[in-house]
Chain A
Amino acid sequence: MHTGQPTRPGQEPIDVNDPGLSRFDIVREGARRDDIEIVHYEEQVVPGSRAERRLVRTVAGFFLITGLAATAFLAIYIWWPWEYQPGRGGDKMFTPLLGATLGIALLGVGFGILTWGKKLLPKEVSIQDRHEGAVPAEDRVITSQTMLYMADELGVRRRPLLGMSLLAGLVPVGAVAAAPLVGGLISDPHKNNQMMTTGFAPQDGRKIRLVREDGRPIRPADISAGGQITVFPGIEHGVSNRHADSPTLLIHLRDADAEESRRNNERQGHGGYMWGNFAAYSKVCTHAGCPASLYEQQTNRLLCPCHQSQFLITDNAKPIFGPASRRLPQLPIEVDAEGYFVAKSDYTEAVGPDFWERP
C-alpha cells in the first residue's frame, strides 16, 4: 500500500470505494499515488461528430487495406509461379509482389493503429516526479553498514588465510575454464613453415608446373606479348582455396619492358627469376591479401581493386601508390624438357599480407 506516500498540497487521499466516483476519478487517484499529475486531458474529437465518424472510417479503411494486401500475399505465395527459370520468367515478379503486398499489409495496420492512437484517443499532459536522488542519505548509510557487517561476519580480514587460500583455489579454476578454449583453438602458425611455403614448393625434388584454372600446363607460345594469365601450382587441389596463397600472375612482357625488368630484378637479387620475356609474380596483394588482378598493359602497372595499391611490374613489382609497402614476391620460373612452364623453386619470401615475424 502506498498510503504513506506524500500527497500533493490541497489534495486529500480519496476513498476509491466511494460509489459516487467516476472511473476517471479513480484513474486520477491512481496516477496521484504514482506522483503523477494529469494536468491536461482533452478529447480530440467530439463523440458522434462528423470528424469522429471520418476518423473511424479512415482507421477501418487502413485495416481493410491490410486484410486485402495480406490475402493478396497469400494468394501470390500459393499460386504465383515462383520457381526460377532462366530469362524473364514470371518468377522475376514473385519476390517484388510478396514485398509489395507484405509491406502494404504491415503499413496498413501500422498507419491504422497510429491514426487510432494519435487522433481518436484523448490527448493528455501528465507530470511525473523523477524522484532522483530521492534515496534518503540514511538508506545509503544503512545499506553500506549492512554490507560492511556482512564482510565482518565472513571475517576475511581477521582470518587472512581464508581469503588467500580461496584466491589460490579460484585462480586455477579460472585458468581451467579458459584452458580448453585456448588450447583447442591454438594452432601453430609456423607449422610446416606454412607462412613461407606455397603450392609451388618442389615435391620430392620434382619441380611444379604452372597450370591454368582448368589444370592444363602452359607453353610460352600460349601467351602473346603484353598478355598475362593467372596460373596455379600443378598439384592436387592446386586450383582451389586450399592453396589460397599460390595464385600467380604469369606475364609476357614486351622486349623493352622485359629488358628493363631484368635489370631491376638483378638489382633486387632476383636475377634469373624470369624466363625469356616471361615474369611471374604472386597475385596475392602484400597489403591485405586480395588478388591484385587489374593489369594495365600500357603502363605495366598492377592494381589491387580492394585498396588501390599499385605495383610497377617492370620494377620488380614495386608498390608505387596506395597503402601497400612491400613488393609482390617473384616466382622463379623456367621451361622444362617438355616445353611447359615450371617453378624453379618456391617463392623465396613470404607471400601475402605482411605480419610481425616476417624475416
Chain B
Amino acid sequence: MKRRKFDMAAVPGNTARAVDDRFQVATPLRRLLNKVFPDHWSFLLGEIALFSFIVLLLTGVFLTFFFEPTMTEVIYNGSYAPLRGTPMSAAYASTLDISFDVRGGLIMRQMHHWAALLFMAAIVVHMLRVFFTGAFRKPRETNWIIGSLLFWVGFLAGFTGYSLPDDGLSGTGLRIASAIILSIPVIGTWVSAAVFNGEFPGTIIISRFYIAHVLLVPGLLVALISAHLGLVFKQKHTQWPGPGRTNANVVGERMFPRYAIKQGGFFMVVFGVIALLGGLFQINPLWLFGPYEAWVVSAASQPDWYVMFLDGSTRLMPDWEIHLPIGDGYVIPPLFWPTVVLPGILVGLSLFYPFLEARYLKDYRSHNLLQRPRDVPFRTGLGAMAVTFYVILTLTGANDVIADKFHISLNAMTWAGRIGLLLLPPLAYYVTYRICLGLQQHDREVLAHGVETGIIRRMPDGRFVEVHQPLTTPDEHGHAELPYVGWVVPKKMNRLGALGPAVRGFFFPIEKPAEAPVSPGHPPVEPRPEREEVGSGETRR
C-alpha cells in the first residue's frame, strides 16, 4: 500500500472544515468578525473597569493561596520584627506573611488593592460619560441599571476586601459598619447579631466576609458584567453624531482585526499601569496599623476613596436623634440617615433616572446617537449638581486631614461642609446651565458667521471689525446659516486645514510633508514664497 503524503498546508483548511461540519460556526463567526464598533476615546473608560476586574481576579486568586481567613488568636512570629510576639488574629498574621514572607506577595497584594481602586474609579468615570452623553436612554435603560448596580456591588466587594486583613484600620471600619447596621430601626440589633453572630466583633465575621469577598460578590460581579457586555453587544454601541451617522446605523470599524488588537493592547497598558502602581506606590501598609484592638484608633483613619463619601455624610449629619415615646421608648439614631437612607435614595435615583427623564421629556423613542452635554443643559446641570454633592461629601470624608494640613479649625470644616452641601449643588446647576447655553450660542454663531481668524480690519469709516472665515459660501448678505448637527463645530482656522499637516518623524523627517489638504470651495493655503528675517532693519554686526 502506498503511504499517502502528509500535506501540512492542508491542515488548517481540513481542521476548519471538520469543526464546521460538527458545530456550524462559519456563519456566526463571520458575523462576529464583521461586527462594526464605533470608536471614540470616551468609549474606552468602561474597558478600564473591565480590565481592572480581570487583574483583580488574577491577583485575588494568588492571595487566596496564602490568606487564612480566621480570627483565631495567634502569636506573630514572622519576619516583621516590630510585631513579633504580638497576639493577633490569624487573618492579620497571614496578611503580614503575604507582605513579608511570601516572595512577591507584597506586589500582588498592592496590585490587588490598586486594581480595586482603579476598578471603582473607572466605573464612576464611565458612568459619568454615559450620563452626560445620554447613552442611558431607551433602549439602554436596562444596561444603565446593571451598571449602577455594578458600582454598589463593587463597593461591597471593596469593603469586604479591605476588611479582611483585620488590621487596626479595617477593624475600625467594621466597627462603624456594625454601628450602621445597629442604627436601622426595629431590626437593627437583630441584623447586626445575625451578621456578627452576637456582639461585635465576635469570632466569625472575617470568615463570613471572606466567602462573600471571594465567591458571592465576585460571582455577582461576573454575572452582572457578563450581562452588561452581552447587552452592549446585542444592542450595539451608541455613537456620536457625524457625517453618515444616523440613528439606524453604526459607523466604525469591523471588530477584527484592528479594533480587537487595539483592545488587547489597551488591556496590556492598563495591566502595566496597575503593575507600576502596585510596585512603586505603597498602599495600605497595614503592618504600621497593628492588629485590630477595639480601643485603639489613630487620627486620619480614612476608608478607601469610594467609601469616603459615606464617611463624609456621616460627619456632616447634625446630632438629630428621634425619640419615640412609646412603651419604654424607641430611638432612631442620627447615624441612620446619612448611612442607610442617603445611599438608599442615591441607589433609587440612579436606577430610575432614565425613566424619570423620559417621563419628564415625554420622549419614548429609541436613541442610538449620543448628545453633547451642552445640548441638554438641564441634564448636564443635574449631573454637575450630583458631582458637586459627591465631591463635597468625599472631601468631608477627609476633612480632619485637610483641617490639620491647612491649619483650619475642624469645626469650621464641618460647618463649611454642611452649608456647602446645601448651597453649592444648586449653584453648580445654575453655572453649568449657563455655560451650556453659552457654548450652544457660540456654536450657532460660528455656523452663521464663520470662524474667527484673528485678523482685525479697519474699515474706511474708522471702525475695526474682525474678519470671519465662513464655513460655507455666504449669501448676498454675508450670512451662511448651516444647521447644527449635534457635533463639534470647527472654531479654529487650523481645523479648516489652514495649516499644513505636521511633518512626521521624531528627530528627522521621514517623508516629504504632504500637500496641505484643500477643502472644497477654498483656495489652497500656500506658504509665502520666501522668508525674511524679521528684524529692526539695522544691519547687525
Which residues of A approach B to under 8 Å, CB–CB? 2, 30-31, 33-34, 36, 38-39, 49-51, 54, 77, 82-84, 86, 95-100, 102-114, 116-118, 121-130, 132-133, 185-191, 194-195, 230, 232, 241, 244-245, 247, 283-284, 287-291, 293-294, 305-309, 319, 321-326, 352-359
User: Given A50-B511, A322-B319, A323-B317, list of 19 further CB < 8 A pairs?
Assistant: A36-B254, A50-B510, A84-B81, A99-B275, A107-B276, A109-B268, A116-B261, A117-B262, A125-B244, A133-B366, A185-B197, A230-B295, A241-B292, A288-B179, A305-B301, A323-B318, A323-B338, A354-B331, A357-B328
> In the complex, what residues of A have CB within 8 A of residue B34's CB?
30-31, 34, 36, 128
- Interchain CB contact under 8 A, A103 and B294: no
Contact stretch, chosen from B182-190, B222-230, B468-476, B487-495? B182-190
Decide yes or no whether B306 CB sits under 8 A from chain A: no
Contacts of A49 in B (CB 8 A): 511
Contacts of A306 in B (CB 8 A): 172, 176, 297, 301, 311
A326 contacts B268, CB within 8 Å? no
B477 contacts chain A at the CB level, 8 A cutoff: no
**Interface size class of chain B, counting residues whose CB lies under 8 Å from the partner chain:** 35 or more
A187-B193 in contact (CB<8A):
yes
Task: Report A198 CB to chain B, min CB distance, Å.
Answer: 10
21 contacts between A and B (CB under 8 A): A34-B31, A38-B254, A51-B504, A51-B511, A84-B101, A99-B110, A106-B275, A107-B268, A118-B258, A123-B258, A128-B249, A128-B250, A129-B249, A130-B249, A130-B250, A189-B193, A190-B189, A241-B293, A245-B200, A291-B294, A308-B414
Distance between Cα atoms of A294 and B301 in the complex (Å): 13
The reply to whether A322 and B265 contact each other, CB–CB distance below 8 Å, is no
- Across the interface, B294 reaches (CB within 8 A) one of A122, A186, A241, A325, namely A241
Task: Select B254's contact among A99, A126, A245, A293, beta carbons within 8 Å.
Answer: A126
CB distance from B513 to the nearest CB of A (A): 12
Are B279 and A100 in contact (CB-based, < 8 A)?
A: yes
Question: How many A-B contacts at CB < 8 Å in the complex?
Answer: 304
Tell me if B257 is interfacial: C-beta within 8 Å of chain A: yes
Q: Does B62 contact A (CB under 8 A)?
A: no
Query: Is A117's CB under 8 angstroms from B249's CB?
Result: no
A103 to B192, CA, bound (A): 43
Cβ of B253 within 8 Å of any chain A Cβ, yes or no, is: yes
B198 touches A187 (CB 8 A): yes
Known contacts: A129-B248, A188-B193, A247-B294. The answer to whether A103 contacts B30 by CB under 8 A is: no
Task: Determine how close the nearest CB of chain B comes to the CB of A306; give it in whole angstroms.
Answer: 6
Known: A51-B511, A95-B110, A95-B279. A307 touches B311 (CB 8 A): yes
Of A39, A106, A133, chain B has the most CB atoms within 10 Å of the CB of A106
Whether the pair B183, A322 counts as a contact (CB closer than 8 A) is no
Would you call B175 and A288 a contact (CB within 8 A)? yes
Closest chain A residue to B320, Cβ basis? A325
Closest Cβ–Cβ distance, residue B277 to chain A (whole Å): 8
Separation of A130 and B187 alpha carbons in the complex (Å): 50
Out of B176, B179, B183, B249, which one reaches A127, CB within 8 Å? B249
Q: Is B278 an interface residue (CB 8 A)?
A: yes
Given A189-B193, A288-B314, A305-B299, also A103-B331 (CB < 8 A):
no
Q: Judge whether A132 and B368 touch: CB under 8 Å.
A: yes
Closest residue of chain A to B337, judged by CB? A323
Pairs A-B, 7 closest by C-beta atoms: A99-B279, A110-B268, A106-B272, A103-B276, A113-B265, A117-B261, A247-B295
Q: Which residues of A contact B27 (CB under 8 A)?
A: 2
**Pair B189/A195 contact, Cβ less than 8 Å:** yes
B330 at interface by CB-CB < 8 Å: yes
A195 CA / B189 CA spacing, docked (Å)? 9
A354 touches B183 (CB 8 A): yes
Query: Can you name the residue of chain A whose Cβ is closest to the Cβ of B297?
Result: A291
B335 and A353 contact, CB distance less than 8 A: yes
Nearest-neighbor residue (CB-CB) of B109 within chain A = A95
Contact B175 A325 (CB under 8 A): no
B107 to A99, Cβ gap below 8 A? yes
Q: Does B85 contact A (CB under 8 A)?
A: no
User: What A residues does B257 contact at CB under 8 A?
Assistant: 117, 121
Question: CA of A287 to CA of B319 in the docked complex: distance in angstroms?
Answer: 9
Across the interface, do B400 and A308 meet the contact criterion of CB distance under 8 Å?
yes
Across-interface contacts of B261 in A (CB, < 8 A): 113-114, 116-117, 121
